[in-house]
Amino acid sequence: MTTSLPSLFPPPSRTAAPSRGAASGATAAAGITVGWARHQDEVRQAQRLRHTVFAAEMGARLDTRIPGHDIDLFDDYCEHLLVRDEASGEVIGTYRVLTPVQAQRVGSTYSDTEFDLTRLRSLRARMVELGRSCVHPDHRHGGVVLALWGALADFMVRNRLDTMIGCASIPMLHNGMVSGDAAASIWHQIRQTHLAPIEYHVLPRLPLPVDQLDGSLDVEPPALIKGYLRLGARVLGAPAWDPDFNTADLPMMMRIADLPPRYRRHFLGTA
């Protein structure tokens, strides 16, 4: 995550957008629908939800050109996945997806601004970046997350993409105090069991000083990170510090080939 910046590029044409398909009904819980934003008004709904979660709830400092919206220069190049409450029509969950073609057009991924991704060069042609994931505080149940992940899996298969990367955030506020100790402890835990092979390691541009922090706390990773790990994700290196969002960001990678069999059956219908 980062502070928002005014868009420096014109909106890309949607005529060559990758196949988004229909959301899988098998992953959508009762009372919600999932689909891709098809016009700017729908993107604005996602940006309002992001502002509610990141700024109002988490205290992020957002330099946004539209009050009440979280907007940055990558938004115009991304596909935006939306989960809606059927009764109200309100957007209650969102992800944005930056495809390889669009990453080339904007010049980088968001993750490139936080990490040196040189070692991922060989993966970029079939690699998407996931970002700005959030769920409305009144709807944080498994159904919303499963609906998002089901639609993402369908998107990857339809577009013959095989790798997902992104920055998974750990809030710096722990037990009422602003501290990096929880993030350092989570990093030390995860690196023991879920560290990627060395050929995929990346380096933070603004490292969290984990060696100067207490990394021995008995603290659980955020729910989203635990979910990624269950899906076979790997951490690519030590966390970066994002001062604007007041988070420690772990570089994560998920590959379709690494999905455990039960999730392959659930999301892809294959063994």
3-state secondary structure 14-69: CCCCCCCCCCCHHHCCCCEEEEECCCHHHHHHHHHHHHHHHHHHCCCCCCCCCCCC
Q: Please tell me the pTM assigned to this model.
A: 0.88
- The pLDDT-based confidence of 13 (bands split at 50, 70, 90) is very low
The CATH number corresponding to 25-268 among 3.40.1830.10, 3.40.190.10, 3.40.630.30, 3.40.50.2020 equals 3.40.630.30
Contact, 85 vs 139, CB < 8 A? yes
Tell whether the model's pLDDT for residue 142 goes beyond 90: no
| Residue 267: predicted pLDDT | 85
Q: Read off the pLDDT band of 60 (50, 70, 90).
A: confident
What per-residue confidence (pLDDT) applies to 5?
A: 24
Q: How confident is the model at residue 143 (pLDDT cuts 50, 70, 90)?
A: confident
Q: What pLDDT, on the 0 to 100 scale, is given for residue 6?
A: 25
Tell me, what's the pLDDT at 62? Answer: 85
Confidence of residue 28 (pLDDT cuts 50, 70, 90): low
Q: Are 76 and 11 in contact (CB under 8 A)?
A: yes
Q: Say whether pLDDT at 107 is over 80.
A: yes
C-beta neighbour count of 83 within 10 angstroms: 29
Q: What is the mean pLDDT of residues 106-131?
A: 97
**Model confidence at 95: pLDDT above 70:** yes
Query: For residue 254, what pLDDT is reported?
Result: 97
Residue 130 has pLDDT above 80, yes or no: yes
Max CA separation in the chain (angstroms)? 51
Determine the average pLDDT of the residues in 195-205: 98
Write phi, then psi, for 60 (nearest 5 degrees).
Answer: -65, 150
Q: How far apart are CA 94 and CA 219, in angstroms?
A: 26
| pLDDT > 90 fraction of the chain, expressed in percent and rounded | 71
Q: What is the pLDDT of residue 167?
A: 96
Average pLDDT over residues 164-177: 84
How much is the pLDDT for 191? 97
In the block, tokens 């940055």 appear at 72
Q: Helix, strand, or coil here: 92? A: strand
* Residue linked to tokens 């989570």: 186
Of residues 140 and 271, the one with the higher pLDDT is 140
Query: Which phi and psi angles does 214 have, rounded to 5°?
Result: -80, 105
Q: Which residues pair with 242 in a beta bridge?
A: 247
The rounded distance, in Å, linking the Cα atoms of 110 and 138 is 28
Strands (E), 156-265: 163-171, 173-174, 177-178, 203-204, 234-235, 240-242, 247-255
Q: What is the pLDDT of residue 1?
A: 36
Residue that wins the pLDDT comparison between 24 and 43: 43
Strand partners, 240: 207, 249
How big is the chain, counted in residues?
271
Residue 140 confidence (pLDDT): 84
Report pLDDT for 82.
97
Question: Which residue type sits at 238?
Answer: A
